[in-house]
Structure 1
Amino acid sequence: MSRLLIVVDRATDWAPYYPSEDVLTFEQYLHFTSSGTARVRVINLCQSARYLSQGYYCSLLAEARGHNVVPSVMTLNDLSRKGLFSLELTELDPSVIQWLEESGARVRPGHDDSGATHEVRVRTYFGQVQHPELKPVARALFEHFPCPVLEVVFKRRKAWQIESMRPASPADLSESEQDVFAAALDRFSTIVWRKPRTRRRYRFDLAMLVNPDEAMPPSDEAALKRFEKAGRKLGINVERITRRDYMRLPEYDGLFIRETTAIDHHTYRFARKAEAEGLVVIDDPVSILRCTNKVFLADLLKNNKVPTPRTLIISKDQKDAVDRIVSELGFPVVIKIPDGAFSRGVTKAKDEKELKAGLRDLFRQSALVLAQEYLYTDYDWRIGVLGGRAIYACKYMMVKGHWQIYQHGESRVESGGFETLPTFEVPRNVIQASLNATRLIGNGLYGVDLKQSGNRVAVIEVNDNPSIDSGVEDKFLGGELYTLVMQEFLSRMEAKRRA
């Protein structure tokens, strides 16, 4: 469990907001001692953050006590160094520049004859802002300078720049600003608004990262609910978070990513931050790094003698690429970009003309392309592996009249049928190849895709974020599949707490 504390200079600073036992004055925090092994998160809302002020000491004491604090001492120091944030904003969305121009052109007393000013002052609240046009700016500033309330001054010289930034306190806010601040705080950390007498205590808190707008997420709504239910039975409070909750990660004991991962993506940043904060993480950043790039994976499997289709790594500047593919792999041949998912970025060429066209298209997206022998099968195996053991098995059938399990159309994606089996009914060499492949990746949750043709088994890829959908992967185990995943989190979180 983690505890959230809000520190203010005086009790009256919190008067406009909902009372909570989690709100302390600076004097109370000075003498605060945490009990047990609970992690403590501190939101520092003291009025002054200058060097050696109460606000500065609040963050300093929090870090000395091992509490995770916003803003950190580093952030306070960075905000005092203008060179770090004196940034030109010419590359921002035109709507931001337009808003700054219009706001700066409003008549204000004491300015030049035109009544115009070239300075605009705004406040952000946990990366939120009153003006919709400035949301991208506020979010970016909060990611670089995490601060509950930040007063930002924009100034236009040759171009719009950030002239200054400083932390602000709730005591500085007008009535309308207090409403925005309260909503932002509620969004940032809902714990503070819960009444203590109704708050159920769980042994651990687990963040489950999801994207409600993702077209093909790793888990559907019913599966997410089953994860939450399984967690509750084991004493784990499973709470869904989105990319906007990046700064809330230290509140939790673990992170479970249920959103399609990529390296140049917020999912990887979430995994990195969670691991740095000491959370149990699935998918961990190393697994994401190793699984999401098929070039790395192909080389790793080949060098460790894990059976795969014959594979070539082709460079954009390789003059004999087509000749090599034809002579070593023949036709038909499969070509794919390194970071495709759900059958995207994958093409089958049946002759030299299609091969050249396919390579030309894929090289627009990547400097390297994989060419792989085509193995015809009616289905692909998917073996789910968790903590080094197989926990589920599926046969994913090809789309009727198509050579893949997914077919992407202009308006919709078709998928083939499936068959879910107990792992003890899966051929032994399929399970063994899956375990051999995942041992090279890590100790997390993986979905291994394989093809089987007679006695030959070939690993196609290892997915760090495998699909677990209600009525598909859980068809055989039912709720037990979700319990297995939550039990793994519980064991790892208990081990971290004992360490």
Structure 2
Amino acid sequence: MARLVIVVEKASDWGSYYPSVDVMSAMDYLRQPVAADDERTHVINLCRSYKYLGTGYYVSLLAEARGHKVMPSVRTVNDLRRRSLYGLDIVDLNQKLTHFLPAGGRDTTDFGILVYFGETAYPALQDLARQVFEMFPCPLLRIEFERDRVWQVSSIKPVGLHTLDDAQEDAFAQELDRFSRKLWRKPRARKLYRYDIAMLVDPNEAMPPSNKRALKSFIAAGRELGIEVDPIDKNDYQRLAEYDGLFIRETTASDNHTYRFSHRAEKEGMVVIDDPTSILRCTNKIFLNDLMVSRKLAVPRTEILYRDDAKGTHEVVERLGFPLVLKIPDGSFSRGVVKVENEQALAEAAGRLFQHSALVLAQEYVYTEFDWRIGVLNREPLYACKYFMSRGHWQIYNHGAKGTAKSGGFETIAVADAPPEVVKLALKATHPIGNGLYGVDLKQVGSKPVVIEVNDNPSIDAGVEDAHLGDELYLRIMREFLRRMEHKRQGSSR
């Protein structure tokens, strides 16, 4: 179980709270001997200031040198000094802040809120407070707003515990208790495992990238290698500091919590699959198409439709002909993909898709009985599958089948038995994206394969992708985590 240390600059700063063995002065913390201790230590730095080379700064700096997880980190402290990171207009801020101004206070031009571990007393601003805390993990922050024509964030500053009034002290104490109990609520047998990986999952996801049996297999593979794989969900954002790695096993998107988890884990120096760069590059099909074309890799003929360009849409039809496949840029599992056979169907489908995106892909329809999926890990092929089209449908997944998604059959084979040209193209497709875990979808007509898309978070289901390798598939992925975590630990010890 992790040890909690709360550091205050002066003993009097903690005078309003009950004494605790977890609390120590900054000087006591800085003077304590450095020890090689396998026990996890989490430090909450409540010094009055984090000024460069000041006492609070050194608490965070030396905590990191000692291998302690500290809040705020030195990186957070430095980021808070860079106004360019947060001097941005917030789209709906004007309406939200006006709601909190007293009657007759419409001429107010500045406003501020306190944020305690991501929580604020203003419910309508809670989401903003959480986002700021996720960007700048710091125990106590003040967000200042100013208005010229519209409201914007003017500053985000750390606040000293000694500046709080009685009501604010009560609020801070409540959130500190809640936060610390959540962060360290689960005792774990550290002596049994050399490393810990957080596996991000959504128990309620209808079509997750891994089924429950696969998740159990990842956990078992990790334990065999001395790694504890701990399932977490989107509510465990602040627990990330406990772990050495993050393995995302829910469908990723660049605009939701999966990306925030990935970005935060990378900033913490953790091993991350999927890394934020891979998420950004793979979750937008328009980006992927241009990336493949710029590398001269074979793809179906593809063009872009623009919401307010009817003439351009007609010209695309003349060049590509029917049938056409329309795709929204960020669809997954065949969602947001429509096949159209004529002008009327095109107009109706494009109208629906343009409600979600200003740009839509139009792609020539390439008929095949199945799609290839080549799994790639660290630039090496991992598995090979054939995904057959859903019965009576032109896609692998049929989302219109009585309200539930139905998929076609599959065949998993040894990578060595897959067509060499398919495997070679899959590896070329992932090279400009990164060295993570990918699933490359390809179609093959005759001897010529084409890339359909590259998935940053490929399906790994028990009974499907592991049908050939069995438990070895999970072990290979966990071994790659182990290799990367050992590399980071060796690098940090030099």
TM-score, structure 2 as length reference? 0.78
Matches within 5 A, 1:187-336: 187=182, 189-190=183-184, 194=187, 199-316=190-307, 318=309, 320-336=311-327
- The match for 1:497 among 483, 489, 492 is 489
- Specify the alignment match of 1:378 in structure 2: 369
Structure 2 equivalent of residue 181 of structure 1: 176
Q: For the structure 1 residues 180 and 378, does the alpha-carbon distance in structure 2 shift closer, same or farther, using more than 3 Å as the test? A: same
| Superposed displacement of residue 490, structure 1 | 0.6
2:159 to 166, 172, 175: 166
Cα pair 1:322 1:355 within 8 Å, conserved: no
CA positional deviation for 1:174: 7.5
Asked if 1 retains the 8 angstrom alpha-carbon contact of 2:379 and 2:435, the reply is: yes
Q: Counterparts of 2:114 and 2:313 in 1: how far apart (Å)?
A: 58
Cα deviation per residue 1:253-286 (whole Å; 9 max; x = unaligned)?
Answer: 2222222222233333333333333222211222
CA deviations 1:90-133 (Å, max 9, x no partner) are: 946999987x68xx89xxxxxxxxxxxxxx99975422468877
Q: Aligned partners of 2:124, 2:311: CA distance in 1, in Å?
A: 51
Q: Conserved in 2, the CA contact under 8 Å of 1:127 and 1:141?
A: yes
CA distance in 2, matches of 1:414, 1:57: 55
Partner residue, 2:438: 446
Partner Cα separation in structure 1 for residue 12 and residue 418 of structure 2? 64
Q: Which secondary structure state, in structure 2, belongs to the residue aligned with residue 200 of structure 1?
A: helix
Which segment drifts farther, 49-58 or 371-380? 49-58
Structure 2 matches for 1:410-421, cutoff 5 A? 412-421=403-412
In 2, the alpha carbon distance for the partners of 1:486 and 1:432 equals: 24
What stretches of structure 1 of length at least 5 have no aligned partner? Answer: 106-119
Inter-partner Cα distance in structure 2 for 1:44 and 1:235: 32
- Corresponding residue for 2:29? 29
> Residue in 2 aligned with 1:466?
458
User: What is the CA distance between 1:354 and its match in structure 2?
Assistant: 1.5
Kept in 2, the 8 Å contact 1:211–1:259? The answer is yes
Matched, 1:405 2:406: no
Alpha-carbon spacing, 1:356–1:396, altered in 2? closer, same or farther (3 Å): same
8 Å contact kept, 1:2–1:252: no
Q: Given that residues 93 and 151 in structure 2 are in contact (C-alpha distance below 8 angstroms), is that contact kept between their aligned partners in structure 1? A: no
Separation in structure 2 between the aligned mates of residue 161 and residue 290 of structure 1, nearest angstrom: 30
Instruction: Please name the residue that 2:45 is paired with.
Output: 44
Moved more, 314-323 or 295-304: 314-323
Q: CA deviation at 1:400?
A: 2.2
Per the TM alignment, residue 388 of structure 1 is displaced from its structure 2 partner at its CA by 2.0
Cα distance in 2 for partners of 1:89, 1:333 equals 39
Aligned length: 477
- Structure 2 equivalent of residue 395 of structure 1: 386
Sort the Cα spacing of 1:289 and 1:84 in 2 relative to 1 into closer, same or farther, 3 A. closer
Shift of the alpha carbon at 1:11?
12
CA positional deviation for 1:481: 1.5
How well do the aligned residues superpose, as a CA RMSD in angstroms?
A: 4.5
Partner residue in 2 for 1:482: 474
Letter in 1 for 2:340: A
CA distance in 1, matches of 2:280, 2:393: 30
CA deviation profile, 1:405-444 (whole Å, cap 9, x unmatched): 2222498332223324222332333222222222232211
Q: CA deviation at 1:403?
A: 1.3
CA contact (8 A) 1:290 1:297 kept: yes
Q: Please name the residue that 2:107 is paired with.
A: none
- Where 1:392 maps in the other structure, the secondary structure is strand
For the 8 Å contact 1:332–1:374, the answer to whether it is kept is yes
**Using a 3 Å threshold, how does the CA distance of structure 1 residues 17 and 245 change in structure 2: closer, same or farther?**
farther
Distance 2:133 2:343 in 1: 51
SS at match of 2:332: coil
1:403 aligns to what SS in structure 2? coil
Structure 1's 418 and 96: CA in aligned 2 closer, same or farther, altered over 3 A? farther
Structure 2: distance between partners of 1:433 and 1:81: 43
Per mean C-alpha deviation after superposition, the further-off stretch among 227-236 and 429-438 is: 429-438
| Aligned residue number for residue 434 of structure 1 | 426
User: Does the C-alpha gap of structure 1 residues 71 and 439 become closer, same or farther in structure 2, counting only changes over 3 Å?
Assistant: closer
SS of equivalent to 1:341:
coil
Is contact 1:151-1:166 (8 Å) kept?
A: yes
Distance 1:239 1:288, change over 3 A: same
Structure 1 contact 312–370 (Cα < 8 Å) conserved? yes
Contact 1:332–1:373, Cα closer than 8 Å, also in 2:
yes
Partner in structure 2 of residue 69 of structure 1 = 70
Counterpart amino acid of residue 30 in structure 2:
L
- Residue 449 of structure 1 aligns to a residue in which SS? strand
The range that moved more, 441-450 or 48-57, is 48-57
Offset of residue 228 of structure 1:
1.9
